[in-house]
Amino acid sequence: MDKFSTLMKMNWKEILDKTLAGVYILDSEGRFVYVNDIVERATRYTKEELYKMDIFKITIPEELEKAKEYLERTIKGETVFYETRYVRKNGEIRWMWGFASPLEIGGEKYSLGSWIDVTRAKRLENELRNREEFYRALIEESLSPICITQKGKISYVNKAFEEFTGYSRDEMIGKELFIVHPEDKELAKKCVGGEEGLERNPETYSFRIIRKDGKVRWLTIRAAKIT
């Protein structure tokens, strides 16, 4: 017996139930005609309950029109990739990534779909985004002037740096440290990296700058390389 014949005699239902992805088949109206064990566990509905429902029952209202569009497109022959949210039987909202593709059985058109639950990944993504926004706000509102340079040119300044120099960030971004006093430019070049680049350990430098109003001010900074 060749390998193909052996594969055809395998229990495909058992194989699908052991996959890590939720697998389902919808008819043209969006009704479930097949779900594997993962879909049952993910939604908290039994298979018997799911077979009496359509996919729109577990779709959040904000995603309903999109879900209908995806079904229509797959029934017409397209393969669709999606990221959406679904509702468990207990009301908990979860995230999923998946795809749906056209399927024809006995002349009838269906949508064959597969999804994985990515709620944990989405939560981590949101936590990282919130953390980034927190630190960005902390830097922006800091009372200490903060300036970031890349290849000797200014790429970011916070509000305190604008106030200290008298220049707006639009006047400084993308330019070299033109505000540095002519006699201190060599020291400033070392501060922003120069040819060799800064070490990762912070170092302290003091030099003069010329404000927009022409006044000379001393600036003491701690400079470090960031990646």
Worst-scoring range by mean pLDDT, 20-24, 65-69, 87-91? Answer: 20-24
Write down the pLDDT at residue 195: 44
More confident residue, 86 or 219: 86
Neighbours of 179 (CB within 10 A): 23
Encode pLDDT of 211-225 as tens digits.
999 999 988 877 777
3-state secondary structure 84-153: EEEECCCCCEEEEEEEEEEEEECCEEEEEEEEEECHHHHHHHHHHHHHHHHHHHHHHCCCCCCEEEECCE
CA separation, residue 217 to residues 14, 127, 159, 165, 227 (Å): 76, 41, 17, 9, 29
Give me the residue spans of the domains in the chain: 3-122, 141-223
- Residue carrying the six token digits 């201190």: 184
Fold for domain 141-223? Beta-Lactamase (3.30.450)
Q: Which CATH superfamily is domain 3-122 in?
A: PAS domain (3.30.450.20)
> What's at 80, amino acid-wise?
V
Residues 182, 53: Cα–Cα separation, whole Å: 76
Q: What is the mean pLDDT of residues 116-137?
A: 83
CA separation, residue 51 to residues 17, 26, 55, 130, 170 (Å): 16, 10, 10, 40, 60
Write down the pLDDT at residue 43: 95
Write down the pLDDT at residue 199: 52
Write down the pLDDT at residue 193: 56
Question: Does the structure show a pLDDT above 70 at 202?
Answer: no
More confident residue, 152 or 203: 152
- Kindly state the percentage of the chain with pLDDT values over 70: 88
Give 82's strand partners.
Answer: 98
Write down the pLDDT at residue 190: 72
Residues 161, 138: Cα–Cα separation, whole Å: 14
More confident residue, 116 or 1: 116
Encode pLDDT of 32-76 as tens digits.
999 999 999 999 999 999 999 999 999 999 999 999 999 999 999
Q: What is the mean pLDDT of residues 165-189?
A: 88
Write down the pLDDT at residue 172: 92
Q: Do domains 3-122 and 141-223 have the same CATH topology?
A: yes
Worst-scoring range by mean pLDDT, 88-97, 153-162, 183-192, 211-220? Answer: 183-192
Q: What is the mean pLDDT of residues 18-24?
A: 84
Encode pLDDT of 63-74 as tens digits.
999 999 999 999
What are the residue ranges of helices labelled H in 144-184?
159-165, 169-172
